[in-house]
Amino acid sequence: MPRILRQLWVAITSLTLVAGGCAPRQPFYFFEDGDLSHYVGEIQKLEYPDGEQEPLAEAAGTVEPLTLANPNFDNIWELSLEEAIRTALENGKVLRNLGGRFGSFGGPRPQTGEPPVSLLTNPNATPSIYDPAIAETDPFRGVESALALFDAQLSSSLTWERQNRPQNVGGIGTQIFQQQLLGDTGNWTTGIQKKTATGATFGFSNSTLYDNNNSPIRQQGVPSTWTTNYDFTFNQPLLQGAGVTYNRIAGPDSFENLYGRPVFRGVLLARVNADISLAEFEAGVRNLVSDTEQSYWELYFAFRNLEARKAGRDSALEAWRKVHALYVEQSRGGEADKEAQAREQYFFFRSEVEQALTDVYRCENRLRYMMGISASDGRLIRPSDEPTTARITFDWQQSLVEALSRSAELRKQKWVVKQRELELTAAKNLILPRLDMVGRWRFLGMGQELVNQDYRPYEANGLDPLGGTDAYSTLFSGQFQEWQAGAQFLMPLGFRRELATVRHHQLQLARERARLQDEELEASHALVEAVRSVDANFALAQTNFNRRVAAERQVEAVQAAYEANTVTFDQLLDAQRRRADAESAYYRSIVDYSRSISQLHFRKGSLLEYNGIFLAEGPWPGKAYFDAHRRARQRDASLYLDYRHSRPGVFSRGAISQNFAELGADAPATQLPPRDPATRAEPVPASLPSAPGGSSAPAVELLPTPGG
């Protein structure tokens, strides 16, 4: 019977599962009211932060941009290169750049088809004017943080304790001990500790203890006592962790970290980090200036290219009108094929003009972005400076010396090498055993009170030595003094971690030195290419100028021949197209020549000096000058002590010179450097060499430079 019941139960359960399906079901609750407003079905939501940051006025106030459908603007903004760079620097809190496509490092010509989005895609990779100060104030790697490790530390604690506990005392023991222990205990400890540059730790502390209880032994004397003592302690490493050099590189707490491994964060390494951030800042400013100048000359070319295309369009329109008039009259020269050919030429130049006008708008927007102004404000920027057309030659040896000594990237890498050298020096200290010399001197005092008016010290030979005494009188009497001296030794057997640390830093140093050598090789190759570009673009400028003159004369000659019916119409159209191309190619070459000069200064490390820009630290707060003046007066009134035995080796050669032409000279602070201290202008030849066959080539007459 039980077997039949079990089978029946299994059958009923199976039917229930089949009827309910495999989907999970919510349980049933009798008191459910259906209000599930407290239930949150999603954890992650796209939300907007609640901030008070107002949008930038230049961004929020952007007017409708200039396009082919909206070419209207209020006025022309005649802008010089100097004003463009000054505006870019004034608005350069974040040192903007046009991205890798622009070719700031001497690459191909900039692409104007897409907007710069380097800040939107990777904002942390873009330097700013705040980066050096952020590195200086880093709470872990900054200079002030490293100096704070040597600051004196003041500590104090005050506790008061009430005792009320039963005692396991009975029988005759109650005559000696209390069955209930009652008492008060107070403890006040104050001390100051100072770590020195040699690795030593000095301390001075005071401990005051109050004790009052109902012990029978205490009742035979005074009910309460005060005890005070002053300790002078020191700990001086003799091997590992000792010395000014190690502590200024590694810091006094290189092993006091979460992972128990050495972390070097001394003053010298913090200083190196600050210098690295300054080199990165200089490179960011240089890139900002370079991209601004490149954008300026590209806008200049866009305007010149537009004028060349417009001239071609106008000449094509005039030719089409003439042919179309003959076509309407069914006269000679107005054949249908010639009319269609003239019409195609016109629309070709019209498309070229539309594309060139769009390029003007795009290049103008690039320059506005680099200057940090609104993308569109009703004005159209037009460059007012002309690119240089004078031949400029650079002294190769001087340029090479400048490139290897003034490059911000090479200087940064040299600081990295110096950083690895300092870390290796500190790591070698870790393979020494730990041997510390320790000592302590203590003055003690005890009395019925802490301080009283009788100033009675403790009398060891009296019947009541504590009666009427105070702790400080006993302390000042000098009766009770203690001292301790010793040494602590610790050495791992094998030094496996320490030797691995040394090898690790040796490999890091070798890697950074190899990187520095290859960076120098790369800098020399880039300089060679920059010099070659200057020479090639100047030659192209001469050639394209001759091509421009020849194309103009060709149009005049073909026009006259066409009117005399000696040439066909397609030859005239081809000559007009060639003239427009030659005009554009000429201005392309002189713009590239100016860009190549800028890129050569970029490679030499003299671009900022070339544009009259010098980097200097801004003013400090008034309190900083007040403290510095007080310290200067203090040093002036003190006696000079030569502590050369504790002074670390020189690791910096001092401030760099931003004026290469005045190295070692005391130039006035207000004197501006020459435009290019490593160049010399040479006159352009009056004519090119004779052409084959004895005929002389046309004279090369480049445009004069601004101001002469």
- pLDDT surpasses 70 at 675: no
d(CA 411, CA 611): 21
Domain boundaries, the chain: 83-150+241-430+504-614+673-708, 159-195+200-228+434-490
d(CA 356, CA 517): 45
Residues 108-165 have pLDDT tens digits of: 455 555 667 778 878 888 889 899 989 988 888 888 888 888 999 999 999 999 988 7
- What H or E segment, with its residue span, contains residue 7? helix 2-20
Select, from the ranges 187-196, 313-322, 443-452, 490-499, the one with the highest average predicted confidence (pLDDT): 187-196
DSSP three-state, residue 251: coil
pLDDT-derived band of residue 360, with 50, 70 and 90 as boundaries?
A: very high
Looking at residue 670, its pLDDT comes to: 32
Please provide the DSSP assignment of 334-369 as one string.
--HHHHHHHHHHHHHHHHHHHHHHHHHHHHHHHHHH
Mean pLDDT value across residues 36-62: 77
Better pLDDT: 671 or 581: 581
Bridging pattern class, strands 434-447 and 224-237: antiparallel
Better pLDDT: 70 or 706: 70
CB-based burial label for 57 (10 Å; 0-12, 13-18, 19+): exposed
Sequence-separated (6 or more) residues with CB below 8 Å from residue 146: 251, 265, 266, 267, 269, 270
d(CA 450, CA 473): 9
- pLDDT surpasses 50 at 676: no
Looking at residue 56, its pLDDT comes to: 81
pLDDT-derived band of residue 624, with 50, 70 and 90 as boundaries?
A: confident
pLDDT-derived band of residue 536, with 50, 70 and 90 as boundaries?
A: very high
What is the number of residues in the chain?
A: 708
The stretches of 564-644 forming alpha helices (DSSP H) are 569-604, 607-610, 622-636
Give yes or no for a contact between 23 and 338, defined as CB atoms under 8 angstroms apart.
no
By mean pLDDT, which of 321-335, 535-549, 554-568, 600-614 is the weakest? 321-335
Q: Looking at this protein, which amino acid is placed at residue 78? A: E
Q: Return the percentage of the chain with pLDDT > 90, whole number.
A: 41
Mean pLDDT value across residues 319-331: 83
Record the tokens describing residue 425, joined without a space.
């020096």
- pLDDT surpasses 90 at 188: yes
Fold of the 83-150+241-430+504-614+673-708 domain: Outer membrane efflux proteins (OEP) (1.20.1600)
Looking at residue 52, its pLDDT comes to: 75
Residues 205-248 have pLDDT tens digits of: 999 999 888 776 655 567 788 999 999 999 999 998 898 889 99
The whole-chain average pLDDT of the chain stands at 81
Determine how many CB atoms are found less than 10 A away from the CB of residue 641. 6
Which residues, listed in sequence order, are joined to residue 439 by a DSSP beta bridge? 234, 485
Mean pLDDT value across residues 541-561: 92
Better pLDDT: 231 or 690: 231
pLDDT-derived band of residue 637, with 50, 70 and 90 as boundaries?
A: confident
pTM here is: 0.78
Looking at residue 334, its pLDDT comes to: 72
- pLDDT surpasses 80 at 522: yes
Residues 461-485 have pLDDT tens digits of: 766 777 788 889 888 988 899 999 9
- pLDDT surpasses 60 at 696: no
Residues 392-440 have pLDDT tens digits of: 999 999 999 999 999 999 999 999 999 999 999 999 998 999 999 999 9
With vertex at residue 677, the alpha carbon angle to CA 672 and CA 683, rounded to the nearest 5 degrees, is 115
Mean pLDDT value across residues 633-652: 65
Q: What Cα–Cα distance (Å) separates residue 495 from each residue in 429, 480, 705?
A: 12, 44, 70
DSSP three-state, residue 201: strand
Looking at residue 686, its pLDDT comes to: 32
Give yes or no for a contact between 450 and 253, defined as CB atoms under 8 angstroms apart.
no
pLDDT-derived band of residue 667, with 50, 70 and 90 as boundaries?
A: very low
- pLDDT surpasses 70 at 665: no
By mean pLDDT, which of 166-170, 184-188, 531-535, 659-663 is the weakest? 659-663
d(CA 70, CA 246): 68
Looking at residue 173, its pLDDT comes to: 61
- pLDDT surpasses 90 at 562: no
Give yes or no for a contact between 184 and 218, defined as CB atoms under 8 angstroms apart.
no
pLDDT-derived band of residue 26, with 50, 70 and 90 as boundaries?
A: confident
Give yes or no for a contact between 597 and 705, defined as CB atoms under 8 angstroms apart.
no
Sequence-separated (6 or more) residues with CB below 8 Å from residue 108: none
